[in-house]
């Protein structure tokens, strides 16, 4: 049987390789690291998480992301299995120990007889065989140039941001306190998963002033894409309005200061555990493009970590993402118009959940290709069963209404063609069986 080749061993590529191998089709997984490094990765492990250690909400009843988690678990997904194995307390979210998680994914892929991990950089798009391109936003310059050659430069976007990490022993717990928002979680450890740093109105206003005045990095020539609304640098949020952060990552709702229970904080900065030992915490939602020196000055204005030491600074690296509406021959296909046809997985979709789900969808594509049936179109479905339309398949995200820039349940009858209640597909049948 002809193998399926996958370029890129990130979240999407690793999941696609696992699903294809489980279907009995051999896989060759190509990964350029560690021989070819990126500015964000620190190892050569598969599925290394460089942006955040959180997969967002794990609530499969009230949250669409949690529903996708349930579907991937039901489909026997490797990424979800390893995430559950290395889960950290995070209230209602699913967060992991990054290093242990990626090491476990790597070990599982290496132990699978049908998967061969081939180190080395792929610099050109293939001309023969069955291939899935899952290189993600940190694609090497050579391969990115080859992709640009068949998609056009207008199909590439540049954006991303990474939150800073602080040492836990530098946080003043006489000011900060442990609590998950609304006390989410079934155990005491989950209910106390976050460290909360309160701000008064004066402290918040001074913080915003410093944030707006801080030295920031700028896009290089050609890196002109707009930001993704789900991952904005905090400076950009502050520029949209002084109260924006207070209604975003610094919202004070659902929290009670144990040191001053009768006093309502004007704003709250949350820190989430980043490793199993609890020695590192990342600042939730604080993606930034401030220069490193400015980060130290500004973040020390936060009560609690005022004397904090940054283990890793936040940053805003240039990343390349496909504007997939400009690429696909069909609006809902994962196939790039090329010869031979190329299936992409994860690259056009910002967000860890979306990349893992693209890997799950890429698995059936690869299985069909390996069995000689050719790649198949892969759809995402909203919870009521209609085909989803993520922002990258419909053009630039800023052209969409605000409530369509994230995957979430879509109310019935809102301007989309009516479909049968459950489209025929393995994940849809699983969910239908669950409800029945």
Sequence-ordered strand ranges (E) for 62-202: 87-88, 93-96, 115-119, 130-133, 156-158, 165-167, 177-178, 194-199
> Is 50 exceeded by the pLDDT of residue 334?
no
The number of beta carbons lying within 10 Å of the beta carbon of residue 218 is 7
Given the candidates 2.40.30.260, 3.40.1160.10, 3.40.50.1970, 3.40.640.10, the CATH classification of the domain at 165-312 is 2.40.30.260
What number is the average pLDDT over the span 197-214?
96
The predicted structure's pLDDT at residue 36: 76
Class of domain 4-158+321-431: alpha beta
Helix axes 98-111, 78-85, angle to 10 degrees: 140
The predicted structure's pLDDT at residue 150: 74
Helix axes 11-22, 78-85, angle to 10 degrees: 120
What number is the average pLDDT over the span 404-420?
39
The angle formed by the CA atoms of residues 58, 64 and 68, to the nearest 5 degrees, is: 65
Whole-angstrom CA distances from 421 to 72, 107, 193, 408 are 20, 40, 38, 17
Band (pLDDT 50/70/90 cuts) for residue 220 is low
The number of beta carbons lying within 10 Å of the beta carbon of residue 293 is 11
Length of the chain as a residue count: 436
Cβ atoms of residues 409 and 362 within 8 Å:
no
The predicted structure's pLDDT at residue 396: 38
What number is the average pLDDT over the span 2-20?
92
Cα Rg for the chain, rounded, in angstroms? 22
Query: Whole-angstrom Cα distance, residue 410 to residue 345?
Result: 24
The predicted structure's pLDDT at residue 264: 94
Cβ atoms of residues 53 and 90 within 8 Å:
no
> Is 60 exceeded by the pLDDT of residue 56?
yes
Pairwise pLDDT comparison (254 vs 417), residue with the higher score:
254
Give percent above pLDDT 70 in the chain: 64
Token duo for residue 137: 């936003």
Query: Between the ranges 231-245, 257-271, 288-302, where is the mean pLDDT highest?
Result: 257-271
Query: Whole-angstrom Cα distance, residue 194 to residue 284?
Result: 9
Band (pLDDT 50/70/90 cuts) for residue 135 is confident
Give percent above pLDDT 90 in the chain: 35
Give the residue carrying structure tokens 């936060």. 302
The angle formed by the CA atoms of residues 196, 199 and 205, to the nearest 5 degrees, is: 140
DSSP string, 93-118: EEEE-HHHHHHHHHHHHHH-TTEEEE
Cβ atoms of residues 156 and 63 within 8 Å:
no
User: What residues pair up with 162 in beta bridges, in sequence order?
Assistant: 315
Q: What are φ and ψ of residue 264, in 5° steps?
A: -85, 125
Instruction: Decide: helix, strand or coil at residue 36.
Output: coil
What number is the average pLDDT over the span 290-314?
75
> Is 90 exceeded by the pLDDT of residue 133?
no
Sheet holding 87-88, edge to edge: 54-57, 93-96, 87-88
Token duo for residue 377: 């179109």
Closest Cα to residue 154, out of 319, 337, 316, 324?
324
Please state the domain extents for the chain. 4-158+321-431, 165-312
User: Cα dihedral sign for 317, 323, 328, 331?
Assistant: positive
pLDDT tens for each residue of 303-319 = 887 655 555 544 444 44
Instruction: Decide: helix, strand or coil at residue 235.
Output: helix
Give the CA count within 13 Å in the CB-facing half-sphere of 208. 21
Average pLDDT, the chain: 74
Query: Whole-angstrom Cα distance, residue 87 to residue 53?
Result: 10
Cβ atoms of residues 303 and 198 within 8 Å:
yes
Pairwise pLDDT comparison (274 vs 225), residue with the higher score:
274
Query: Whole-angstrom Cα distance, residue 73 to residue 69?
Result: 6
Closest Cα to residue 387, out of 337, 422, 336?
422
Pair type for strands 177-178 and 54-57: unpaired
Cβ atoms of residues 166 and 238 within 8 Å:
no
| Preceding amide of 34 cis, omega within 30 | yes
Cβ atoms of residues 167 and 299 within 8 Å:
no
The predicted structure's pLDDT at residue 416: 37
> Is 80 exceeded by the pLDDT of residue 152?
no
């Amino acid at each position: 049987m002809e193998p399926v080749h996958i370029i890129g061993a990130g979240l999407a590529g690793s999941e696609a390789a696992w699903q294809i191998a489980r279907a009995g089709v051999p896989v060759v997984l190509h990964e350029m690291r560690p021989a070819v490094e990126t500015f964000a990765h620190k190892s050569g492990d598969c599925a290394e998480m460089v942006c955040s250690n959180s997969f967002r909400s794990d609530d499969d009843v009230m949250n669409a992301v949690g529903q996708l988690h349930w579907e991937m678990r039901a489909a026997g997904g490797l990424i979800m299995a390893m995430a559950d194995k290395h889960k950290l307390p995070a209230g209602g979210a699913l967060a992991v120990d990054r290093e242990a998680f990626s090491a476990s994914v790597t070990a599982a892929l290496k132990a699978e007889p049908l998967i061969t991990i081939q180190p080395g950089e792929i610099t050109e798009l293939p001309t023969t065989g069955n291939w899935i391109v899952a290189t993600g936003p940190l694609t090497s310059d050579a391969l990115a140039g080859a992709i640009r050659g068949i998609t056009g430069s207008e199909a590439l976007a540049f954006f991303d941001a990474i939150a800073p990490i602080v040492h836990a022993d530098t946080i003043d717990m006489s000011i900060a306190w442990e609590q998950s928002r609304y006390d989410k979680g079934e155990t005491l450890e989950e209910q106390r998963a976050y460290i909360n740093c309160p701000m008064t109105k004066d402290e918040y206003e001074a913080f915003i002033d410093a944030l707006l005045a801080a030295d920031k990095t700028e896009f290089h020539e050609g890196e002109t894409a707009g930001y993704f609304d789900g991952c904005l640098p905090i400076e950009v949020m502050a520029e949209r309005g002084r109260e924006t952060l207070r209604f975003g990552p610094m919202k004070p709702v659902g929290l009670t200061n144990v040191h001053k229970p009768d006093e309502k904080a004007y704003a709250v900065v949350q820190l989430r555990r980043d490793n199993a030992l609890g020695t590192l915490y990342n600042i939730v939602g604080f993606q930034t493009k401030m220069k490193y020196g400015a980060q130290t000055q500004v973040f020390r204005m936060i009560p609690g970590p005022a004397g904090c030491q940054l283990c890793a600074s936040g940053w805003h690296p240039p990343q390349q993402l496909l504007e997939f509406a400009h690429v696909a021959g069909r609006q809902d296909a994962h196939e790039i118009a090329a010869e031979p046809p190329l299936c992409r997985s994860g690259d056009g979709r910002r967000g860890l959940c979306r990349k893992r789900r693209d890997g799950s969808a890429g698995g059936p594509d690869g299985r069909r290709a390996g069995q000689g049936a050719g790649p198949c179109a892969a759809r995402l479905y909203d919870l009521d069963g209609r085909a989803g339309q993520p922002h990258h398949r419909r053009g630039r995200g800023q052209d969409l209404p605000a409530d369509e820039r994230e995957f979430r349940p879509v109310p019935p009858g809102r301007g989309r063609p009516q479909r049968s209640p459950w489209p025929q597909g393995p994940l849809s049948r699983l969910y239908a069986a669950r409800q029945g």
